[in-house]
Amino acid sequence: MNGQHNTSGNGQPKEPARRRFLAETLTAAAGALVLAASLGLYQRSAGALPAYACRPPGALPEKQFLGACLRCGQCVRGCPYDVLHLAAPGEEIPTGTPYFVARENPCRMCEDIPCLKACPSGALNRSLATVYESSMGLAVLLDHENCLNHLGLRCDVCYRACPLIDQAITLEVQVNRRSGVHTLFIPTVHSDHCTGCGMCEYACVLDNAAIKVLPLSQARGKLGKHYRLGWEEKEKAGGSLIPEQLKLPVRRPEELP
Amino acid sequence: MTARIPGREAIRKKGMVQAAKWLALRRLSQLAILQLFLLGPFAGVWIVRGSFSASMTLDFLPLTDPLTALQSLLAGHALGATALIGALIVAVFYLLVGGRAYCSWACPVNLVTDAAAWLGRRLDLKKSIGFNNTIRYWLLGFILLLAPLTGAVVWEWVNPVTILQRGLLFGIGLGWAVVAAIFLFDLLVVRRGWCGHLCPVGAFYSLPGFLSLLRVRAARRDQCTDCMDCYSVCPEPQVIRPALNGGDKGSPVILSGNCTNCGRCIDVCPQDVFQFSQRF
Ligand code: SF4
Ligand code: SF4
Ligand code: SF4
Ligand code: SF4
């Protein structure tokens, strides 16, 4: 009703102008929507952190980190060892986020954690009590065939390089079945102490490190929800869960008729 | 008749200094900001740490890009106090000096798009496809919507603005391609295409500009000879008309938040029509 009245009152030119305005606005909106939607999809496909990249100490879990980090690089500037980089376009790491590559330049675990202190956003979490509590990743001795200790030699370099020697990495003794008389000293990482600093990977003497720091999501297996560990359940219950062991009669062949 | 080169008459009448004053100051400001960021890593003089997204000056003044901060908040992150205070300081600052002063006085992308515009004028590339300049506000809206939908500061994956800003300070990688694309888009496809039509960062900073104190005023508009030099050099020419040609009833103040307060119109006007002033 109102529209009709307007048209007749103001003559013809108003309609095409308004229509053009509407069309232009819709085009703009549609164009922007297409761009935004492709961006959303692109982000989905480029989700996870590649295995060679670690986040700085105290970084929130990856998904939260991507919502928290402002890509400002103050952590990068704070690091006295130039360990950290901001990902540039073309790298597999979300653009602008800080990371380090353990094999090139591992984290030295500064007691005062200057990278974390510089972070204004909380993407590097201030509640991290000490640098030893950080979990930038988890070291895994990946190659049991080329690791020199596995071959029966005494390399021990990763073990000695670890700032948490005898806690994060221990040498576990095994029989050397090849010689039959010697001992293998197997570098063994313990997830409750390893911070993922990457000193071990950096120090590994092989051309391609046998021990590597991986993101936790890739390094750790996960039990199915339905698994119960009998010995833990037993401890929780304060005794055996089965009330009485069932004694079955022993049947031997000679007892058969 | 050869094409009129905007600014020539102003140089003749007012002299080089008066006709390029604001341009020179602006370039100085843009380069000085980059220098301050680089002084730390290159010379060990730590005045400013960080980048345009967030920085810390002299260990006590935090500054945060409010758009990045807003995206982080929308993505569901409880932003640290330092970042929040920084964003507040920046917001208040641009409420005073005009939001898009960010574009013309700080952002290094302006160097690229100004260069494209300058070359376009020199080569007389007048033709450019029509393009709606509200698309930037739609983009801004969708970007702010994407943050809560994905839980990430998604825009930063591809934001050409921070790709260049960060690239200059931390290494740019393949980001050069993005910058080159903007230059060519501005030069060959749409004049002032990126900063004037598409950039959602500029769109965001235009918002405080609609309220800001510092504005350009066509104080002596009765002296205007319609040489059109101001329109030729202005990155947002549509903002001039209401103030300059709006008739006696209209305000002589350029009220649009999209005026970047670059002051180039002040420089090139042979009649000294424009000046910086406050809004009221
Ligand atoms: S803890 Fe020290 S070495 Fe490790 S990333 Fe932070 S500042 Fe750099
Ligand atoms: S300092 Fe914090 S917000 Fe800035 S890049 Fe590093 S992690 Fe991200
Ligand atoms: S990453 Fe390697 S060196 Fe660092 S704590 Fe873990 S085991 Fe030790
Ligand atoms: S009106 Fe003047 S100050 Fe504003 S953007 Fe245009 S040229 Fe720059």
Q: How confident is the model at residue A9 (pLDDT cuts 50, 70, 90)?
A: very low
Give exposure, A178-190, as e/b (b: 16+ Cβ within 10 Å): eeeeeebbbbebe
Contact flag A89-B151 (C-beta cutoff 8 Å): no
Q: Does residue A10 register a pLDDT over 50?
A: no
What is the CA(A69)–ligand 2 centre distance, in A?
5
Q: Are strands A98-101 and B61-64 parallel, antiparallel or unpaired?
A: unpaired
DSSP conformational letter for A59: B
- H/E element, B27: helix B21-43
Q: Is A117 in the pocket of ligand 1 (CB under 6 A)?
A: no
CB contact under 8 A, A95 and B157: yes
Q: Is A133 helix (H, G, I), strand (E, B) or coil?
A: helix
CB–CB of B164/B106 below 8 Å? no
CA distance A109 to A54: 13
Q: Which atom of ligand 1 is nearest to the CA of A131?
A: 1
pLDDT exceeds 70 at position A87: yes
| Pick from B62, B79, B166: CB nearest A71 | B166
Q: Is residue A158 within 8 Å of A169, Cβ to Cβ?
A: yes
ipTM, two decimals? 0.87
Domain boundaries, chain B: 15-208, 215-278
Q: Give dist(CA B207, CA B214) in Å, integer.
A: 14
Q: Which amino acid is at A126?
A: R
**Cβ A73–B156 below 8 Å, yes or no?**
no
B202 lines ligand 4 (CB under 6 A): no
- On whether the CB atoms of residues B135 and B59 are closer than 8 A, the answer is no
Beta strands in B36-155 (DSSP E): 48-50, 54-57, 61-64
Residue-level pLDDT at A11 = 47
As given in the structure block, the two tokens for residue A107 are 């984290």
The average pLDDT across A50-57 equals: 90
Listed residue (B160, B68, B168, B170) closest to B113, CA to CA: B160
* Side chain identity, residue A174: Q
Answer whether A114 touches B (CB < 8 Å): no
**pLDDT (tens digit per residue) in A16-30:** 777 777 777 777 777
Ramachandran category for residue A198: left, alpha or beta (phi over 0 → left; psi -120 to 50 → alpha): left
- Residue B109: partners with Cβ closer than 8 Å, 6 or more residues away: B103, B160, B161, B164, B165, B179, B182, B194, B195, B199
DSSP A19-44: HHHHHHHHHHHHHHHHHHHHHHHHHH
Residues 36-75 of A with CB under 8 A from B: 36, 39-40, 42-44, 46, 63-64, 66-74
Determine the pLDDT at residue A14: 56
AA identity, residue B105: W
- Which residue in A77, A93, A119 has the most chain B C-beta atoms within 10 A of its own C-beta, making it the best mutation to test that interface? A77
Partners of residue A77 in chain B, C-beta under 8 Å: 40-41, 49-50
The pLDDT score that the predictor gives to residue B3 is 65
The CATH code of the domain at B215-278 is 3.30.70.20
pLDDT reading at A169 higher than 50: yes
Q: Indicate the average pLDDT of chain A.
A: 85
Give the per-residue SS3 of B245-270.
Answer: CCCCCCCCECCCCCCCCCCHHHHHCC
Q: Which alpha helices (DSSP H) does chain A contain, by range?
A: 2-10, 14-45, 62-68, 74-78, 114-118, 157-161, 199-203, 216-219, 230-237
CA-closest candidate to residue B257, choices B89, B100, B95, B91: B100
What residues of chain B score a pLDDT lower than 70? 1-3, 126-130
Instruction: Give residue B221 CA to ligand 3 midpoint distance, Å.
Output: 71
Give the pTM: 0.82
**Chain B residues in contact with A43 (beta carbon < 8 A):** 150, 152, 154, 157
Taking CA atoms, B126 is separated from A104, B198, B269, in Å, by 51, 19, 21
Q: Give the pLDDT score at A160.
A: 94
pLDDT digits (tens, 9 = 90+) for A92-132: 888 899 999 999 999 999 999 999 999 999 999 888 888 98
| Minimal Cβ distance to B150: which of A40, A69, A89 | A40
- Residue A148 pLDDT > 60, yes or no? yes
CA dihedral defined by A122, A125, A130, A135, rounded to 10 degrees? Answer: -140
Q: Is the pLDDT of residue A1 over 70?
A: no
Q: What residue owns the CA closest to ligand 3's atom 4?
A: A197
- Greatest alpha-carbon span in chain A: 115
Copy the structure tokens of residue B155: 């825009």
Do B88 and A126 touch, CB atoms closer than 8 A? no
Encode pLDDT of A192-248 as tens digits. 999 999 999 999 999 999 999 998 888 888 889 898 888 888 888 888 777 777 788
Q: Which residues of A101-124 are buried (b: 16+ CB within 10 A; e: fewer)?
A: bbbebbbebbeebebbebbbbbbb
Which pLDDT does position A101 carry in this prediction? 93
Give, for ligand 4, the residue of B103, B261, B268 to mutate: max count of ligand atoms closer than 8 Å to Cβ. Answer: B261
DSSP 8-state assignment for residue A83: -
Give the residue among B80, B82, B79, B44 at the shortest CA–CA distance from B61: B82
If one residue of A101, A194, A201, A204 were mutated to test the ligand 3 pocket, choosing by the most ligand atoms within 8 A of its CB, it would be: A194
B142 neighbourhood in chain A, CB within 8 Å:
32-33, 35-36
CA distance B94 to chain A (A): 20
The answer to whether residues B120 and B186 touch, using CB atoms and an 8 Å cutoff, is: yes
Q: What is the pLDDT of residue A143?
A: 93
Contact of B57 with B63, CB cutoff 8 Å: yes
Residues of chain B neighbouring A64 (CB-CB closer than 8 A): 77, 151
Task: Verify whether the Cβ–Cβ distance B50 to A77 is below 8 Å.
Answer: yes
Most A CBs within 10 A among B67, B77, B201, hence the mutation to make, goes to B77
Each as own residue / partner, the long-range contacts of residues B180-186 (CB below 8 Å, 24 or more positions apart, any chain) are B182/B109, B182/B112, B182/B113, B182/B116, B183/B112, B183/B113, B183/B115, B183/B116, B184/B116, B186/B112, B186/B113, B186/B116, B186/B117, B186/B120
Chain B partners within 8 Å of A33 (Cβ): 138, 142
Q: Look at residue A146 and tell me whether its pLDDT is greater than 50.
A: yes
Strand partners, A98: A86
**Neighboring chain A residues of B172 at a CB cutoff of 8 Å:** 88-89
Distance (Å) from CA B172 to ligand 4 centroid: 30
Please give the single-letter amino acid code of residue A212: K
What pLDDT is recorded for position A4? 42
